A and B are shown apart, each in its own frame.
Chain A
Amino acid sequence: MRHTLAAAVIAGFSCIASADAPDVASGRVAEQDQRLRYISGTFDDAMRASSVVIADGHATAYLQQVLERLFPEHASEMRVAIIRSPEPNAFVAANGSIYVQNAMLARIDTEAQLAYVLAHEGAHYIRRHMAYATLAAKTAGVTGLLASAITGVPLFGALYASTSYEGFAISVERDADMVALERVSAAGYALDNLLAPLWRVAREREYIRGYGRISATDRHLLERLDLAQGLVRGHPAAHRAGETGGERYRSATEAVRMGALEEMLAHREFDPLIVLLGNDAVVESLPPEARYFRGEAYRLRNARGDDDRAYAEYTAVIDRLPTYAPVWRGLGELHMRHRRNDVALAAFETYLDLDPASPDAGFVRYYAARLQAHP
């Protein structure tokens, strides 16, 4: 009897927990939405005050233009900003503020792919997913507590709550993917290769953790990508010719994408940098000096064979852009590690000729002096 009652109560709450159909507009959702909009305004202020938002007016205006093309009826409500972060991600607040991390932009190489990311975040906003998610989390928590109380098994409730919420989160992401696909298609973008940036992120994570050791978050990403891929393949416009906007994207976002590589290097994200810049489409979408960052990632990671790989990247940059100063410092440090002092010294001198006022010029002069004293 006790178990029948437990099952009945849990089944009842499951319906509420999985009441994820965003078309159901209830008073509770509207109320929750209002609350979250207020909090989001405070969040926006904090983001602006912390200088994490990149002040690149040209790139931001371009992203905003793409967003408005996708959601013309919400143009006055939705705002997009680019923020500094070594993590590839984008997110939306309940008031329609979309934040795209510059590391995400570094994984994208066409406007159509950018449109998909913006449309996905925009879909969360127009479908009020944040309000539903907050209510679902609350319901799942209450259900979990009740489940534990009724069954007498403490962990059962926690497990039940987490799986119930997890199911909700997956369905919300799928809903956002469906809306995004429709919006991207309606705006006239090509649907092929739309998910390439997300596959890149998944591959990087797979590379870093090793096969068979992916985390729950990565598993969700892979599952979501499989589902989204299926949606794209089955879409009536899947084989229709559409706009990709590669050139436009590249020129408008080049500076922020190069900034993302700097950010990743400063945060010592060596493996992601190596994988990302191992992708031809990404490298071709960036200026030639981008390969310097891969060279630095190899030199600093310093695993077996990395020095040769770093050397290949540095020389590839020098062949195409010999006036790019940082590559000479990297090359000098690489030669110095192998005690090839004369070539190291020549590389350092070139660096100092090209950029005598760089923040690390003092160190390079110090290394050069040491090499001169002990040739």
Chain B
Amino acid sequence: MTSANPRHTFARMVLLEVSPTDAPLFEDFVAASDDVKDGKEIGTDFGVVEVAAMVGPVAVWLAQKVFDHLLSWAAEIGKKTIEGFLVDSGKAKLKAWLAAPDKQTLKGALTANGRAEIMGLVAALSARSKLPPSEIRKITSRIAAILFGDEGK
């Protein structure tokens, strides 16, 4: 699994873990990630609203947000804002992971605070997704597993 865009690589990994059936829709999910619009549209619609959100597009959206957050840490290495989130050797690991998330993990790179910060972000974004709690737990545990190896499982 190689891709020119590491952000997409990570998002695809999460999608394949959470909802492999949706893999053919990955590009559509990526294109929708920055679209926050919701609700009614011009034209006729079906009239019966979906009862539950689908896990696939939410997983891709969430994974990209997490990736962007970690990318912002990499940009701020050396600044006080992220001190306490990364262990000493974590900075190099983070850079390596951001370049190839499918070949690296962040296992041992983050402090307890850093890990709590990331998982807090995942929880906050999941809460906005309207997914059922079981699906939220599924996404959270899979992202933790991909990022931190066995730690998240």
To the question of whether A and B form a pair in one complex, the answer is no
